[in-house]
Amino acid sequence: MTPLEYLGAEQVDDTDWALRLPRAIHGAFGGVTGGALAAAAVAIGRSSAQGRIAVGLDVHFLRGLASEEATASVEVLSAGRSLTVVRVELTDDSGRRTTAARVGFAEPGALEPIDAGTNGIEGGCPPADVIEGAKPWRAPKGVEVPIIQTARPRAARVGDAIATVVSIPWTPVADGAEGACLVADLSVGPPVDAILSKGTWIPHPNPDVSLRFAGPATSSQLVAVARCRRVSRGVATVDSEVWDGQGLVASAISTSLFMAG
């Protein structure tokens, strides 16, 4: 099924959508995982940028979205010859705003058809044996994490980074940016976990993620290689690269917050 079908999205009018979000995409903090909300923003944003390709996303997760029913509103901020920018906001069933995103879509016909090699900053996509040997995620003791069963994330250390392998639970459409959103967001946690002493767990939600889409993501399995660049005063900065085979499909940066007990 398409991302919109998976998210139970139905267009109500020119600007509003109704969603029925499955519990299967809930994360560790009592609501829909941020990557699925980012994917929803891209999928819904496409309705205002027909035929255009996703090139960028900036999204803030304002609060958890724990309800099954939600609403999305779309506003076109700019519709130019080469670029359309839309704002997508999600609210829960009580009317509280939970997610605020801006998505950019480019018009292929307005661009020169230039292609060049995709080289990662530090080593590119991990080799096949590393991906095959990645270990399945396990939920922290006493914490329910449905997305683990849904996306079957697996992790492997690659130098100073951690590779996260994710199965996309919907069929990619267009440029497949929705899948890159899910993988980039899920990749944030492992390198931040690695900062902690073994056996220690401190909640560290990421309240934002920014992606720049580098190419089409057409596979049902994507890999993100993420590094925690620094932690200062409880704030961690993580960057990620999302790969479809040997093709770089997105670069991302995110913040994580170590929450005091």
DSSP H helix total and E strand total for the chain:
6, 13
- State how far the Cα of 224 lies from the Cα of 228, in Å rounded to an integer: 13
pLDDT digits (tens, 9 = 90+) for 2-21: 999 999 999 999 999 999 99
Q: What's the whole-number average pLDDT of the chain?
A: 94
Range of the domain at 82: 3-107+129-257
Instruction: Compare 123 and 240 and report the one with higher pLDDT.
Output: 240
How many structural domains compose the chain? 1
Say if residue 128's pLDDT is above 60. yes
Report pLDDT for 199: 79
Q: Is residue 113 part of a domain?
A: no
Q: Is residue 229 part of a domain?
A: yes
Enter the tokens of residue 111: 């661009």
- Domain CATH code at residue 222: 2.40.160.210
Q: Is residue 119 part of a domain?
A: no
Enter the tokens of residue 70: 């939600």
Report residue 148: phi and psi, to 5°. Answer: -65, -40
Residues in the chain: 261
DSSP state of 78: E
Average pLDDT value for residue range 69-77: 98
Q: Is residue 133 part of a domain?
A: yes
Structure pTM? 0.95
Enter the tokens of residue 235: 């704030």
Q: Is residue 184 part of a domain?
A: yes
